[in-house]
Amino acid sequence: MKRTFALSVLAVTLGALCAMARSFEVGETDFLLDGKPFVVRCGEVHYARIPRAYWRHRLQMLRAMGCNAVGCYMFWNFHEREKGAFTWDRRADVAAFCRMAQAEGLWVILRPGPYSCAEWEGGGAPWWLMQDDDKKKPISMRSSDPRWLVPATNWLHAVGRQLSGLQVTKGGPILMVQVENEYGLHGADVAYMRALRQAALDAGFEVPLYACNPPRVMQNGFIPELFQAANFGGDPEQRFEIVRKYQPKGPLMCAEYYPAWFDTWGQAHHPPKNDRAFFGPIDWMFAHGVSFSLYMAHGGTSFGGWSGCRNPFVPNVTSYDYEAPINENGRAKMERIAPLDVLVRREVKMERPEFMERLGQGFGLVSYERMLAPGDGGQLNVDELHDFGYVFLDGKRIGVLDRRHRGVRPRIDRSKEKNPRRLQIVVEAMGRINSSSGMEDRKGMSGRVRLDKKELKGWTARIMPLDPDGEDIQEAVAKAGRDGVPPPSAAGVAAAAADSPALYRGTLNVPDDVPADTFLDMRDWTKGIVWVNGHNLGRFWSIGPQQTLYLPGCWLRKGGNEVVVLDFFGPRAKSEIASVGKAVLDVLQPETDFNRKERQNKKCLGGEEVASGMFPSGDEAQVVMFGKGVRGNFFTLQALTTYDAKNLATIAEFDFLDKDGNPLNSLDVQITGVDSEEEIREDGVDGQVEAFWLTSSRTLPHWIEFCVPAKAEVFGFRYTPRQNKSVGRIKDWRFLAR
């Protein structure tokens, strides 16, 4: 879900600057800080929902996200629990919270109510307002009723006594103060709104006062004396068109932009928005210089029974996690910051794709791209692809070319539109062969690329080296920070896809002066690479068995540590990374492997029989020569019977032989189909005779299909039985070619 907000370029170091009196005003087109345009990048954090001991940590994380301000509801009933008796200490010490925010480089957008909502008990209204209620004429909350307005005015005056000295005009961090909250959803009493505004002025607040509403109800209770901010979760352009009807001039601000929603007992959890839904409006507000506040940046917990109820009565849960970027226990959720475009170092034009080595590249990724004519379509065939090719058509993922399963090939339908389409194959290098056979293991893509029989020529290779030491990732992250979240370029249209490869960034907080070694738990992610403080920790892949990455303590520092993740699919669950005390090296998740179903074909396609026979029962390798060469792309070995009663079949190794009895290059041979396969315990045919392929079904016959590209001529094969144990050793067999 999400990208880290590239805001740090806008967030100035405020601690020293705020010691002097300054100015903050609503200008003709912009907010003006000391007379200069200023854009508010705010995140909502509620001190009442966080243990005081964690305040600084949460504010540091907000600052690390790149925010330059913290939005802060004050809940009236949290401070005035009995009429006239105010509490301003411990978790209610809001002045200390504001000073702490200033020390951490954050401005404060103060929201004292008297009504807050926020899924808080009574919306912040004290219970004692109803203690002396007149049954014949109940109190009218949020109105000019003196039974509400008088104590509400007293509350705002009390807030002023605590915080008016912390305004920006007096050297403090408070930039703006909200009057009421979303009043347009409740009433339309203009006199009430003017009375509250006057109460805020009388309380000593001289910074800009504002109201916030969903734009559709902004006219209710509207008074031009208050700056108008909008609350919404999408379609900013449309929402601000409505705002301009009531506020033709001045800056634009979204006072509450929602990453998700709150939860209620007995109803399903509200999931976060997908990347496109969440970041589209963020991108728009970035591009148009619009101020905004994330509601929530960190939700926290409604401790002590302070959670409220939705109307009609549906009680809210205790957690106020809100699927916020910083979750309930203060762990930073990883935010999507940029597509792969930021990793591109150069481009190379070519007639046919060439391997990375020919392009002067040793590691990383290459995106091979070209335009397709509307009539182009068919099965995508690539002569040589090492190792994984993530295929996109106009930004939509259509499949994965997988070196393990060469028989799995995406199909591109012919377009009915007249516009050309962009084909992208993002190729990932996954490590070169390290055994003696096959070490000439080139990476990338080479040779012909065809749609059915039509060859596609004229390619652009976009080079993304991914230095093993991690130096280039810091440059890429810095580029995202300078430019903001980059929109999809003409050459990188795959960035528009929510599940396209992308960079994510978050912060790992370390409280210790001497950080200890730890492990990052990657089980919620799919496949990619992790960097911490610029150090490349290596690859992760959800299929396992390794699910953690070792993070040496010497690469960490006290406080915030930058974590960057490149995931080729995006997180599978919550976009979070936890540090854990021990490695997880034994958890397989085969269901997460792409192309898994396509490999386990339901039907053996077979071919013409080339040879048949019976293998002996021992563990010696068996050589079968055909007497003449056989040409084909696909070859199938069928196990008709086995030497044990379990009816399982195993193969330790299988090599195709040339006319002299020598093995063909193992790089050219891939398993493309099986009737069944044990995926949990065994390793497969991998060049190590101690490992073996094993069926999971006990029903004979069993079969395994190999692909040899370019119609190789095969003169025989060498079968190595399972070593050490006789289980699964093949007896009667057939060999087919097509």
182 catalytic? Reply is yes
- SS3 per residue for 441-457: CCCEEEEEEEECCEECC
Residue 128 and residue 154: Cα distance in Å, rounded?
14
- Specify the amino acid at residue 257: Y
- Are the CB atoms for 542 and 589 separated by under 8 Å? yes
Provide the H-helix boundaries in 361-502.
471-483
Residue 78, token pair as written in the block: 């949290």
Distance set, CA 141 to CA 151, 152, 222, 340 (Å): 11, 10, 18, 52
Residue 512 and residue 518: Cα distance in Å, rounded?
13
Tell me whether residue 283 is exposed, middle or buried, using C-beta atoms within 10 angstroms of its C-beta: 0 to 12, 13 to 18, 19 or more: middle
- Residue 387 preceded by cis peptide, ω within 30: yes
Residue 332 and residue 509: Cα distance in Å, rounded?
9
Catalytic residue, from 80, 119, 256, 328: name it: 256
Kindly list the strands in the beta sheet with 421-428, ordered across the sheet, starting from the edge strand earlier in the chain.
346-350, 459-464, 365-372, 421-428, 388-393, 396-402
Provide the H-helix boundaries in 572-613.
596-599
- Are the CB atoms for 385 and 670 separated by under 8 Å? no
Residue 145, token pair as written in the block: 């009723």
Contacts of 506 (CB under 8 A, 6+ apart): 4, 332, 333, 334, 335, 563, 565, 576, 577
Catalytic residue, from 182, 328, 369, 428: name it: 182
Tell me whether residue 479 is exposed, middle or buried, using C-beta atoms within 10 angstroms of its C-beta: 0 to 12, 13 to 18, 19 or more: middle
256 catalytic? Reply is yes
- Specify the amino acid at residue 445: M
Chain-centroid distance of CA 5 in Å reads: 12
Q: Which positions are catalytic? A: 182, 256
